[in-house]
Structure 1
Amino acid sequence: MFKRVVLFLATNLAVLALISIVMAVLQSVFGINLGGAGGNVGLLVFAALFGFGGSFVSLLMSKWVAKRGTGAHVIEQPRNEAEQWLVATVRRQAERAGIKMPEVAIYDAPEINAFATGPSRNNSLVAVSTGLLRAMSRDEAEAVLGHEVSHVANGDMVTMALIQGVLNTFVIVLSRVVGRVIDGFISGGRDSGPGIGYYLIVFVLDMVFGLFASMIAMWFSRRREFRADEGGAALAGRDKMVAALQRLSQTYGASTLPKQVAAFGISGGVAHGLRRLMMSHPPLEERIEALRNAPLDPASAGIHA
């Protein structure tokens, strides 16, 4: 879990650092002012292009990245009874959820896990690990599949891309506006244009605001897990979904999912203290308790009656 958080932060910081360098080049070489006075419109446009661009490129490539990162085998023609059951279960759940049949895949990993990804509700992938197929009963696996189909039906992949785009844009704009104020205060209000001090300040602010943005994104991610649990219960039954979460809590180990799809796995690990703020999933015991007390409404979980 800690390594995934570090990689997640490092990736975002690398993107923000690149943005700072590009903006400096545009200012010094081409005279395009995105950080100084009068550059607010250009800054906003630039921030939105970078902020949303990266998120939506990742979204569009999500299925390809997931397949490559996990080595998932997409079931074109079921080779055995287990694969036949997987495809039939996902098809039945997808029809009830009102979405196009997702691609169904199996990937080789020892842990009990599954994930859903894809650029839209009607262009998605649902994959399960070989560890899940070995360790879970059919009822438990059915609930896990319902959880993942619910993610697709709720449009969670698109929602998270939009949230990340908004947060990225906010970080880029706010760090440069605040950086401009701080640089002006340090320079005594001299209008000599942004110097090296300004870009150093902005780089630090990118890291600080980026950390807070990541916490906000992870908060949204945790909320959607509760809803997907309710969706899985609506599709497979509350008792089956509770049993699946209990099985996960008894056997959960370190995830081997690549960071691009780790947030869409069935379980996100365990963390305490401040590290909990960077968790993409709530603790399993909280999910079990919430599901037991939830008044299951299929419509609110994105499932058609």
Structure 2
Amino acid sequence: MSFTRVALMLAAMTGLFLAVGYLIGGQGGMVIALLIAGGMNVFAYWNSDKMVLRMHNAREVDARTAPDLYGIIRQLTQRAGMPMPKVYVIDTPQPNAFATGRNPENAAVAATTGLIRMLSTEELAGVMAHELGHVRHRDTLTMTLTATLAGAISMLANFAFFFGGSRNNNNPLGFVGVILMMVLAPMAAMLVQMAISRTAEYRADRTGAELCGHPLWLANALAKIDRGARAIENPSAEHNPATAHLFIINPLHGKKMDNLFTTHPATENRIAKLRALAAEMGQAPATRRGPWG
């Protein structure tokens, strides 16, 4: 997804936020909503990575405490010419991973203990390359801002039900308009958020496959992670569903359809694209050996 398109989507979400503020308090409410949106985005820009890592009880590791994982990420960043991110491990049996941080110079990647145990070295390299793809394209910042705005729009829309539509707030739509906005604004915000997140996953898949040099490593990993995520619950993710879009596979249960209301494309579609990329690169399905093999 191009920078221009993402910027337009973020502008659309900000417009929705202002519209809900207008319904609550007229022009004054719109100004207050703009100030709130700006403050929330500034806060998210500087603190979202720390908040997400804290939500999932992630612990930082290094070359001494997690030599295999740290070594894989170091080799990948050297190959990509990227700064070395901070590396974290999350103690949960569900296989999964995510990246966070406002830019490549202030990034962090996290892998669960379940992921490290379940995957081969090659497959783990594919997953970490995918997460570094998110870092390279600054998807972590974009998805954090969209999640922040989407949550704020839903909050304000519910708030409008109680305080919007009065005669003295300059709202031309009245109570009917408030009801419509309460339903439609969160839905529109969710559609924008999902479109950005799903596109980012496909792009990170391709970037990660190219970075590690073996698309099938990532394809095999996705198949294993998908099965594991469906069978094993991730308590911290269930308690913090707003962070689900950050993970390489949706950590929540019951959201498997590939439609506009999911944060992730269907895993089988992602695997198919990776297999097609492997064919373009002239790699057979049995290809496994590489710098981590």
State TM-score, norm by structure 2: 0.71
Distance apart, 1:151 and its partner CA: 0.6
Query: Alignment partner for residue 263 of structure 1, among 240, 245, 248?
Result: 245
Q: How many residues align?
A: 248
The CA deviation at 1:55 is 3.4
Instruction: Measure, in 2, the Cα distance between the counterparts of 1:162 and 1:70.
Output: 19
In structure 2, the residue matched to 1:63 is 49
Name the counterpart of 1:246.
223
Mapped to 2, the partners of 1:164 and 1:292 lie a distance apart of 31
Match in the other structure for 2:131 = 148
Q: Distance in 2 between matches of 1:166 and 1:261?
A: 13
| C-alpha distance in 2 between matches for 1:86 and 1:225 | 22
Q: 1:74-223, aligned counterparts within 5 Å? A: 74-76=60-62, 78-79=64-65, 83-161=66-144, 163=146, 194=170, 198=174, 201-202=177-178, 204-223=180-199
Judge conservation of contact 1:97–1:153 (CA < 8 Å) in 2: no
Counterpart of 2:121 in structure 1: which amino acid? R
CA distance in 2, matches of 1:272, 1:22: 35
Q: Is residue 48–residue 165 contact of structure 1 (8 Å, CA) maintained in 2?
A: no
Cα offset for 1:163? 4.7
Counterpart-to-counterpart distance in 1, 2:152 and 2:243: 22
Distance verdict in 2 for CA 1:59–1:207, change over 3 Å = farther
Q: CA deviation at 1:21?
A: 10
Q: Is the 8 A contact 2:256 2:266 kept in 1?
A: no
Q: How do 1:33-44 and structure 2 match up within 5 A?
A: 33-34=27-28, 43=30
How far 1:99 moved relative to its partner?
Answer: 2.7
Instruction: Tell me: CA distance 1:167–1:112, structure 2 relative to 1, closer, same or farther (3 Å).
Output: closer
Q: Which runs of 4+ in 1 moved over 6 A?
A: 165-174
Give the superposition deviation at 1:144: 0.6
2:35 corresponds, among 46, 49, 53, to 49
Q: Which runs of 5+ in 1 are unaligned?
A: 1-11, 28-32, 36-42, 175-182, 297-305
Q: Distance in 2 between matches of 1:163 and 1:244?
A: 27
Aligned residues: CA RMSD: 3.7
1:227 aligns with 2:203: yes
Change (3 A) 1:132 1:210: same
Identity percentage of aligned residues: 27
Q: Which amino acid aligns with 1:107?
A: I
From the CA coordinates, give the structure whose radius of gyration is larger: 1
Q: Structure 1-normalised TM-score?
A: 0.68
The one-character-per-residue Cα deviations of 1:187-215 (angstroms, maximum 9, x if unpaired) are 9xxx96548x8467436514421212111
State the shift of 1:75 in Å: 1.0
Which is further off, 226-235 or 88-97? 88-97
**Conserved 8 A contact 1:102-1:123:** yes
CA 1:207/1:85 → structure 2, altered by over 3 Å: closer, same or farther?
same
Q: 1:210 to 1:233 in 2, by over 3 A?
A: same
Contact 1:114 1:129 in 2 (8 A): yes
Give a deviation string over 1:250-279, Cα, whole Å, max 9, x none: 333344433343211110155366x94321
Note the residue ranges of structure 2 that are not aligned, 5 or more in a row: 1-12, 158-164, 282-293
In 1, Cα distance between equivalents of 2:68 and 2:201: 25
Deviation at 1:282, TM superposition (A): 0.7
